Amino acid sequence: MTLRLYNTLQRAAVPFEPLDPPTVRMYACGPTIYDFAHVGNYRSFVVYDLLRRYLMWLGYDVRFVMNLTDVDDKVIDGAAKAGLDIREFTAPFGEAILRDAETLGILPADAYPMATQHIEGMVEWVRRLEEKGLAYAADDGSVYFRIAGFETYGDLKGLDPDSLKTGARVDVDEYEKDDARDFALWKAAKPVDAEVGAAWDSPWGKGRPGWHLECSVMSIAELGETLDIHLGGEDLIFPHHENEIAQSEGVTGQPFVRFWVHVKHLILEGEKMSKSLGNTVTVRELLDEGVEPAAIRHELMSAQYRRELNFTREGLAASSAAVQRLVDFHARLEELTPTEGADDTRVASLADAALGRFRAALDDDLNSAEALAALFVFVKEVNAELDTAAQVNAGDRQAALDAIESMDRVLGLVSLAQAGRAVDDDVAAWADDMVAERDQARKDKDFARADAIRDELAAKGLVLEDSAEGTRWKVVR
RNA sequence: GGCGCCGUAGCCAAGUGGUAAGGCAGAGGCCUGCAAAGCCUUUAUUCCCCGGUUCGAAUCCGGGCGGCGCCUCCA
Q: Residue A165 pLDDT more than 60?
A: no
Q: Facing residues of A23 across strands?
A: A20, A61
Report the distance separating Cα A418 and Cα A78, nearest Å.
Answer: 38
The residue count for chain A: 477
Contact A72, A33 (CB under 8 A): no
- The amino acid that residue A373 corresponds to is A
**Peptide bond before residue A92 is cis, with ω within 30 degrees of 0:** no
pLDDT at A55: 98
How far apart are the C-alpha atoms of A46 and A283, rounded to whole Å? 12
CA distances from A39 to A28, A192, A273, A294, A366 (A): 17, 31, 9, 13, 20
In sequence order, which residues have a C-beta less than 8 Å from that of residue A236 and are 6 or more positions away? A29, A262
In 3D space, the residue among A73, A80, A1, A61 whose CA is nearest the CA of residue A32 turns out to be: A73
Span CA (A455) to C1' (B39), Å: 26
User: What's the pLDDT tens digit per position in A20-52?
Assistant: 999 999 999 999 999 999 999 999 999 999 999
pLDDT for residue A177:
79
Dist. CA A249–CA A128, nearest whole Å: 12
3-state secondary structure of A451: helix
**Dihedral of the CA atoms A204, A210, A212, A216 (nearest 10)?**
40
A133: how many CB neighbours lie within 10 A of its CB?
10
Q: Is the CB of A70 under 7 A from strand B?
A: no
Handedness of CA A425, A429, A430, A434 (dihedral sign): positive
Q: pLDDT of A270-288, one tens digit each?
A: 888 877 777 889 999 999 9
Position A175 scores a pLDDT of: 53
DSSP 8-state class, residue A461: T
Window 47-66 of chain A: CB closer than 7 A to strand B: none
Interface predicted TM-score of the whole assembly (ipTM), two decimals: 0.95
Nucleotides of B under 7 A from a protein CB: 1-6, 11-15, 21-25, 32-40, 67-75
Domains and CATH numbers, chain A: 4-272 (3.40.50.620), 291-419 (1.10.730.10), 425-475 (no CATH)
Q: Half-sphere exposure (CA, 13 Å, Cβ side) for A407?
A: 32
Q: Hey, which residues does A466 pair with through a beta bridge? A: A471
Residue A357's nearest CA partner among A5, A1, A52 is A1
Q: What is the pLDDT of residues A65-101, one digit of tens each?
A: 999 999 999 999 999 999 999 999 999 999 999 999 9
Q: Which of residues 173-212 of A touch strand B (CB under 7 A)?
A: 180-184, 187, 210-212
